Amino acid sequence: ATTTSGTSFTFTGIPAGVYEVNLLLNGVRVDGGYGWFLRLGTSSGIVSSGYQNQGAQSLLSGQNAALPNVASDFDTGFSAMNDGQKCFGIMKLTRSTENSNTWIYNLHMTGKANNSTSYTANQTQLAGGQISLSGELTQIQIIRERDGKYFTHGSATITWSQ
């Protein structure tokens, strides 16, 4: 597990031939209520274009919204959180076929206010998408949405299957 702090963190050392990667998030939060994004990388570096994704946000207050299709990253949708919410959930990446460098993205997360004892302050994010990389997936980066904002809470763990 990695404690989330600073403006981004990168998991490296993903071996060739991996067909599934899971990023488990436990109480991750960015100060000021801003969100964060997921980017993939090869041995050449982090990729910042070519992402295709769509998702939805559902709040128990009845407010629902579609997440934008952002070509520069996979959007987690947590940019609408208030300053007190933390994210819990999983981001799953699956190779589309055995010899392909196309990855399918699936996200299911919940945000809950720090002081909430009920689920009325929660929101749920569901998203999916894909990206075709130029080579083997070797790294995953989580980066905050806005300059001047930092990861302040939580931890993230990465697992993979070959």
Look at residue 41 and tell me whether its pLDDT is greater than 90: yes
Q: What is the pTM of this model?
A: 0.79
Mean pLDDT of 134-148: 81
- Looking at residue 60, its amino acid is L
Q: How far apart are alpha carbons 79 and 92 in whole angstroms?
A: 20
pLDDT of residue 106: 87
What φ, ψ does residue 33 adopt, rounded to 5°? Answer: 80, 10
Question: Do residues 5 and 151 lie in contact, with contact meaning Cβ atoms separated by under 8 Å?
Answer: yes
Integer CA distances (angstroms), 94 to 20, 33, 76, 128, in order: 4, 29, 17, 11
**Reported confidence tier of residue 64, pLDDT bands at 50, 70, 90:** low
Q: State both tokens at 11.
A: 């998991």
pLDDT of residue 134: 96
pLDDT of residue 27: 76
Nearest to 132 by CA among 16, 54, 49, 58: 49
Look at residue 62 and tell me whether its pLDDT is greater than 70: no
